[in-house]
Amino acid sequence: MTNFWLDLDKPFFALAPMEAVTDVVFRHVVARAAAPDIYFTEFTNATGWVNAGEKAVSGRLDKTDDEKPIIAHIWGSDPDDIEKLAGHCAQLGYDGIDINTGCPDKSAIKSGSGAALINNQPLTAEIIIAAKKSGLPVSVKARLGYSKIEEYSDWLGFLLQQDLAALTIHLRTKSEMSKVPAHHELLSSIVSLRNQIAPRTLIIANGDINDRSHGLEIANKYNIDGVMIGRGVFHNPFAFEKFEKNHSKKELLGLLDLHLELYDKRQGQQRKFETLKRFFKIYIRDFDGASELRHRLMQTKTTEEVRQLLGAHYK
């Protein structure tokens, strides 16, 4: 297996893994608007997949050959299950494995997964070793710590000792969730820590990064290798474009039309229609009548009803 991380121009830009958001459909919509350098999947639970197979993960590992490079973002607390799922991802043609150690969801914490791993370094090490058996490069997505930002030195220092291809840091603690501004000011110290412990591990910043221009500003200021954008695409689906420009109502509605088309083609039988509604606010914005149209779209029950409403707005 080749390590694609070594071939990336720096700074590179990644679409963040987001649960029930960065599925194969939405990744293609983002690619049409402005493609990132790297794609991450939504979250896939290793134990759920081992116990119930594809039925348990509802298409979370669906991908297409044009999504390159693409990383499988997985989570769990059982190293054996992680090993099995990572090996399966290698067979599916994924380019890398990304381990979640930062999810603050209560159910993940209760199972010893996600951010609970911050307080269980021995298990985290076992999970990383298990994922590496896939033969794919392994990265980790982490937070600064569990309760206090001061934990970052010990926690990230430990992760850097694990010979990772890349380390993405969501620059908040588990306790902070997303309620406070991301601590970008710590990036200089984190880069210094990386240089001391694991010079070959790439550092990726995540949290409160709006778009490519904002990411470039942060990357150049703190000398990081990459930038990951998550919620920024909810405010601007063109967040990864290299040259910023104004986008018309027709372009935004066109992206929604593409989303509907791909949903019908790939997910109509897998996911409930209600899951589509979280995306309407991405496309229905910044034009006269957008608020009213969003309200009406939230009342729809089928993609055909959505198309009928959109039809009048294309005129």
What are the pLDDT digits (tens) for 213-229?
Answer: 999 999 999 999 999 99
Helix (H, G, I), strand (E, B) or coil at 142: strand
Half-sphere exposure of 23 (CA within 13 A, CB side): 20
Q: Is 89 a catalytic residue?
A: no
Cα angle vertex 5, ends 60, 193, to 5°?
A: 105
Pairing type for strands 202-206 and 226-229 reads parallel
Instruction: Give the global pTM.
Output: 0.95
Q: What was the pLDDT predicted at 58? A: 81
- Banded model confidence at residue 59, pLDDT cuts 50, 70, 90: confident
Topology, domain 4-235: TIM Barrel (3.20.20)
Query: Which of 189, 197, 181, 182 shows the shortest CA–CA distance to 223?
Result: 189
Q: What was the pLDDT predicted at 272? A: 81
Per-residue pLDDT at 178 exceeds 80: yes
Q: Report how far Cα 305 is from the mean position of its chain's Cα atoms.
A: 30
Compute the average pLDDT of residues 258-272: 82
Per-residue pLDDT at 208 exceeds 60: yes
- Banded model confidence at residue 183, pLDDT cuts 50, 70, 90: very high
Q: What percentage of the chain has pLDDT greater than the value 70?
A: 97
Query: Which of 103, 41, 51, 113 shows the shortest CA–CA distance to 78?
Result: 113
Query: Which of 237, 236, 187 shows the shortest CA–CA distance to 207?
Result: 187
Give residues with Cβ within 8 angstroms of 13, minimum separation 6: 36, 37, 38, 212, 215, 226, 227, 228, 229, 240
**Which of the residues 46, 103, 108, 306 is marked catalytic?**
103
Contact status, residue 301 vs residue 97, Cβ threshold 8 Å: no
